[in-house]
């Protein structure tokens, strides 16, 4: 046998050995994954599924979201067992679910569980409202109230101002007409100067009139603006009331916002077997 033939045989043997090792490794991973599912060993399921398991095996085993549903159900069961005051409100996807605090039907979802990672977090919009919550701060409400008062005052003032402006415009119109009809040969220059002065005053009044006209010229639009301000005021007060209640629930169930974060972090670590003394299967 030639040297080239021997080299080819050695290369093929090496390829076969690597292939057998890879296949063997995949089979062992698959068997370990199957055992973890049978034993409901959640940390081991995540370790294999998110790390070692081949992509094709992942797709096959989760073709109809079987693994997603298993992981979502398991973390749901443990989560609601640990925090019985948390209630699922909405399924966003097979692995993403929203939860609320308390069992009153008007409570809004505040916590999300993503079973795929897994991750537990406060919904971003809720977190933003919680971060910006200052019950003693009335700046926003005061600003809206001032806008409403300003609008109301302008509506009332506009009616009176327009009446006066219209009366002055009518008077100027009469004076200009009189000056135009009574021009004399010797007083023509003076009359024209007076007419020009009256025209400038008229222009100034027209500009002033345009400033007030929107408040009464289109009352429907003005009233609509007022309703929007009132609605903003009401909605802001409602959000403040909702957040206030949520803070009370947090204090009631956890003790404080910081303790809530710690409790959730500790739960997740324990669930994944990463807590001190936890199951590191």
Residues 173-191: what's their mean pLDDT? 65
CB 76 within 8 Å of CB 97: yes
Residues 55-62: what's their mean pLDDT? 67
pTM flag (> 0.85): no
CB 100 within 8 Å of CB 83: no
Residues 144-161: what's their mean pLDDT? 86
How confident is the model at residue 104, as a pLDDT? 82
Residues 83-112: what's their mean pLDDT? 93
Query: In which band, very low, low, confident or very high, does the pLDDT at 95 lie, cut at 50, 70 and 90?
Result: very high
Q: Which residue has the higher pLDDT, 113 or 202?
A: 113
CB 260 within 8 Å of CB 250: yes
Q: Which residue has the higher pLDDT, 131 or 46?
A: 131
How confident is the model at residue 34, as a pLDDT? 73
Residues 175-190: what's their mean pLDDT? 63
For 165-181, write each residue's pLDDT tens digit. 888 888 878 777 777 66
Residues 42-48: what's their mean pLDDT? 83
Residues 133-145: what's their mean pLDDT? 87
How confident is the model at residue 68, as a pLDDT? 85
Domain chopping of the chain, boundaries:
3-133+255-271
How confident is the model at residue 24, as a pLDDT? 54
Residues 177-204: what's their mean pLDDT? 70
Residues 138-150: what's their mean pLDDT? 90
Mean of all residue pLDDT scores within the chain:
81
- Residues 42-66: b if buried by 16+ CB within 10 A, e if exposed: bbbbbbbbeeebeeebeeeebeeee
* Highest mean pLDDT of the ranges 46-55, 191-200, 230-239: 230-239
- Dig out the tokens for 256 from the structure: 């404080």
Q: Which residue has the higher pLDDT, 47 or 271?
A: 271
Residues 83-104: what's their mean pLDDT? 94
For 245-265, write each residue's pLDDT tens digit. 999 999 999 999 999 999 999
Query: In which band, very low, low, confident or very high, does the pLDDT at 74 lie, cut at 50, 70 and 90?
Result: very high
How confident is the model at residue 185, as a pLDDT? 47
């Amino acid at each position: 046998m030639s040297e080239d033939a021997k080299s080819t045989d050695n290369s093929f043997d090496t390829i076969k050995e690597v292939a057998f090792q890879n296949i063997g490794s995949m089979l062992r991973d698959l068997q370990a994954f199957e055992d973890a599912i049978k034993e409901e060993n959640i940390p081991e399921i995540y370790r294999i599924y998110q790390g070692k398991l081949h992509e094709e095996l992942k797709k096959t085993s989760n073709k109809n979201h079987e693994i997603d549903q298993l992981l979502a159900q398991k973390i749901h069961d443990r989560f609601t067992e640990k925090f019985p005051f948390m209630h699922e409100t909405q399924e966003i996807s097979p692995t993403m679910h929203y939860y609320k605090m308390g069992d009153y039907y008007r409570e809004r979802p505040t916590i999300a569980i993503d079973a795929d990672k897994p991750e537990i977090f406060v919904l971003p919009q809720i977190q933003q409202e919680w971060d910006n919550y200052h019950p003693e701060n009335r700046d926003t409400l005061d600003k809206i109230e001032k806008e409403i008062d300003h609008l109301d005052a302008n509506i009332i003032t506009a009616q009176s101002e327009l009446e006066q402006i219209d009366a002055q415009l009518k008077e100027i119109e009469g004076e200009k007409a009189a000056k135009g009809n009574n021009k004399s040969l010797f007083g023509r220059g003076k009359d024209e100067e007076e007419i020009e002065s009256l025209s400038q005053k008229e222009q100034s009044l027209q500009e002033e009139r345009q400033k007030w006209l929107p408040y009464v010229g289109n009352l429907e639009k003005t009233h609509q603006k007022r309703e929007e301000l009132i609605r903003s005021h009401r909605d802001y007060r409602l959000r403040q009331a909702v957040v206030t209640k949520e803070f009370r629930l947090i204090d009631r169930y956890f003790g404080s916002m910081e303790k809530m974060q710690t409790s959730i972090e500790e739960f997740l670590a324990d669930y994944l077997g990463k807590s001190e003394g936890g199951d590191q299967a």
